[in-house]
């Protein structure tokens, strides 16, 4: 239902990005990351659906849950953890996964700045080292949260 409802709303707003019943994510990104009004429209469609799904999935759950979300403010009212790395490291890592540098920079300009992310965080997890360093930090945090 979530996927169908979101697809229908995206199709109504941007019919050119729905191909064979699926969203052309690159095509949609080309529209929304260049226009704050279009990005806000996409967020108005997706955020309520995403938050509703998260709440439904966690209903009755008693424990520690970590939800990955590329948003500063959420309607969920949970503490916020930010996994932080300097912008240049973030760019390099994304380029290494196959995205063009100009596209990474364009998307980053449409998103909150590093300073905004850090200012919103209740907890910051450093991610400027290796993947093994990050795994160790996250495991230590997990142990702390479970204790």
CATH class of 63-147: alpha beta
Q: What is the pLDDT of residue 75?
A: 67
Instruction: Give the pLDDT confidence of 124-145 residue by residue, as tens digits.
Output: 999 999 999 999 999 999 898 8
Instruction: Give the pLDDT confidence of 9-50 residue by residue, as tens digits.
Output: 999 999 999 999 899 999 999 999 889 999 999 999 998 888
37 and 115 Cβ atoms separated by less than 8 Å: no
With 0.85 as the threshold, say if the pTM is over it.
Answer: no
Distances (CA, A) of 82 to 14, 75, 109, 121: 31, 17, 18, 6
* Domain locations in the chain as residue ranges: 1-62, 63-147
């Amino acid at each position: 239902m979530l996927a169908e409802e979101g697809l229908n709303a995206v199709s109504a707003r941007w019919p050119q990005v729905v191909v064979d019943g699926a969203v052309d994510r690159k095509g949609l990104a080309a529209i929304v990351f260049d226009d704050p009004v279009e990005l806000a429209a996409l967020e108005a469609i997706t955020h309520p659906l995403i938050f509703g799904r998260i709440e439904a999935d966690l209903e009755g759950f008693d424990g520690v849950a970590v939800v990955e979300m590329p948003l500063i403010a959420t309607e969920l009212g949970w503490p916020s953890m930010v996994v932080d790395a300097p912008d240049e490291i973030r760019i390099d890592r994304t380029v290494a996964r196959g995205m063009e540098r100009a596209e990474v920079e364009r998307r980053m300009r449409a998103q909150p700045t590093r300073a905004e992310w850090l200012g919103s965080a209740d907890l910051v997890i450093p991610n400027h080292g290796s993947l093994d360093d990050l795994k160790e930090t996250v495991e230590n945090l997990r142990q702390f949260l479970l204790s």
